[in-house]
Structure 1
């Protein structure tokens, strides 16, 4: 039972930090298009826009910066899954990758600090 409770707490904490990141990015002038886009290839925490640019946002939380911190937790394999999910999102919206500018941002939350890294990968 404890494992299920731990998983629920982790998911709840993840949602809390996604909302915090969303609020922060809205304050920076980005516009929310979608939360938690899911497809068989992966999930994108936030899909936003900044002017004409489509912004795919990964939100990561770590209690502290031990073991590289939140930013270091986005491995090359995770980046590839995000790219595939972004491609799926664009196809589902009828967007052409050669005509639509897009980027991948990271919002790294460590403790109470929020660090936004535009064009992270």
Structure 2
């Protein structure tokens, strides 16, 4: 049985994060940071809700954990990967982010989870038919590197600590 090599999972994860970033921007969220690192871990996306009347005013922050999975995965499209331990790690990471960005520390914060499904496109014909990339607002889909990424679910305030 021959399998074609898959790109590194970090590439698939980055493409899933790109899809979610675009989707959030179309909903008037501002991307503040992508893959923010500290000693506790990484925040996939740090986004701010912008006041529509005064775009320079930020209303709230969301720390978005993006889970990109292929079809037939074992963990409910990534939802089961958000364990209590993972939630505590994200909380500590977010605390360090806010300590590094004191001007944002007084904003209301929440933890969102985005579940992205990716599937390898079977042929160049299928890829050609899928082009151009559908509007994120309509379909929340992204075609890249021979894969189709679809936002399966976006869970605002997915957990609280």
* Shared fold, TM over 0.5: yes
DSSP-derived class of the 2:82 partner: coil
1:81-106 residue CA offsets vs partner (Å, 9 max, x unmatched): 11000000000011575x32100011
Q: Is the helix fraction higher in 1 or 2?
A: 1
Q: Which runs of 5 or more residues in structure 1 are unaligned?
A: none
- Give distance in 2, aligned partners of 1:18 and 1:83: 19
Match of residue 86 from structure 2: 78
RMSD of aligned alpha carbons:
1.9
Q: Which moved more, 1:40-49 or 1:56-65?
A: 56-65
Per the normalisation by structure 2, the TM-score is: 0.65
Between 64-73 and 28-37, report the one with greater CA deviation.
64-73
User: 2:110 is matched with which residue?
Assistant: 103
CA–CA distance in 2 between the matches of 1:110 and 1:96? Answer: 32
- Deviates further, 39-48 or 62-71: 62-71
Q: Per the alignment, do residues 104 and 53 of structure 1 end up closer, same or farther by CA in structure 2, a change over 3 Å counting?
A: same
Show structure 2 runs of 5+ residues with no match. Answer: 51-58, 119-148
TM-score when normalising by structure 1: 0.85
Residue 45 (structure 2) aligns with: 46
How far apart in 2 are the matches of 1:65 and 1:71?
Answer: 14
Partners of 1:96 and 1:50 in 2: CA distance: 12
Residue in 2 that maps onto 1:56: 63
Count residues with an aligned counterpart. 115
